Structure 1
Amino acid sequence: MLKNIQEWTLLLVIFGFTALLGNWAGYDIVPLVAIPGMIVLIAICLVGFILNKAIPIEFPSVAYIAIIGVLVSMPWMPGSDLIVAWTSEVQLLALATPILAYAGIAIGRSWTDFMQLGWKTLVVASLVLIGTFVGSALIAEVILRMQGII
């Protein structure tokens, strides 16, 4: 269990550092201002991972993380005003960028495994990606037209 905690901590710190750089580059939030929020987010994730391994119930770690995040940010929780202030300095898209980059690398590493699933999987995946793109474009078009932007 200790080895897992060390690995999780290392990965979360690397992820946090990358997200801080993205936060700075994309949103002009200086890393020193966002570090307390990133530490809180890393701690919440780490506790969620630990609870997932410690409690013998089939419950995803992301659910533990979400519950902990909600609880520590509730107004009646001591220190919640600080936690909310700190974490509001970390933008969501700055967090999503390293996750998506990691997912892309993971898919790239297992491309041969993906191709072994057969041509039907490639067709379905392509249609899903195209459908998601077209659907998003249509929704954006409708919303922007309703707002009179285009």
Structure 2
Amino acid sequence: MLKNIQEWILLLGIFGVVALLGNWIGYDVVVVGAIPGMLILIGICLIGLLLGEIIPGSIPSIAYVAIVGVILSMPWMPGSEYIVSATNEVNLLALTTPILAYAGIAIGRSWTDFVKLGWKSIVVAVCVMVGTFLGSALIAEAILRFQGII
């Protein structure tokens, strides 16, 4: 388990650095100002991953990460105001870039597993992506027209 924790810390550290750079380049947020928020997010992720390993059952670690994050940001929790204000310095889109890059690399490294899924999964994936894009475009169009922007 110690090896897993070391790998998690390394990966989360790399994600954190890349996200901080993306936050700085894309959103003009000073890196030093966003470091506390990033460290808090990394800590929440580590706690969730540890809970996923320690607690028996088949609940994915992401559920524990979400639960820990929600609990720590509740208004009645000591320090929640600081946690919320510090993590607000980290833009969500700056976080998604390294995560999606890692997911792409992970899929790219296991093409044999991806091929085993078959052509039907590719058709489903394309339909999901097209449907998501069209649905988002329709919602955006409706809201922008309703507001009189277009």
Q: Which TM-score applies when normalising by structure 2?
A: 0.91
Q: CA RMSD in A?
A: 1.5
CA distance in 2, matches of 1:79, 1:119: 50
- Cα distance 1:113–1:147, how it changes in 2: closer, same or farther (>3 A)? same
Q: Look up the match of 1:133.
A: 133
Which 4+ residue blocks in structure 1 deviate beyond 4 angstroms? none
1:20 aligns with 2:55: no
Q: Look up the match of 2:63.
A: 63
139-148 or 30-39, which deviates more: 139-148
The code of the aligned residue for 2:106 comes to A
**Aligned sequence identity (%):** 71
CA contact (8 A) 1:47 1:65 kept: yes
CA distance in 1, matches of 2:56, 2:117: 33
Question: What are the equivalent positions in structure 2 for 1:1-150 lying under 5 Å apart?
Answer: 1-150=1-150
CA distance in 2, matches of 1:34, 1:128: 34
CA distance in 2, matches of 1:88, 1:141: 28
State the Cα distance separating 1:112 from its structure 2 match. Answer: 4.6
CA contact (8 A) 1:9 1:46 kept: yes
CA distance in 2, matches of 1:73, 1:123: 40
State the Cα distance separating 1:72 from its structure 2 match. Answer: 1.3
58-67 or 108-117, which deviates more: 108-117
State the Cα distance separating 1:103 from its structure 2 match. Answer: 1.9
CA distance in 1, matches of 2:120, 2:76: 52
State the Cα distance separating 1:65 from its structure 2 match. Answer: 1.0
CA contact (8 A) 1:115 1:122 kept: no
Q: Which TM-score applies when normalising by structure 1?
A: 0.91
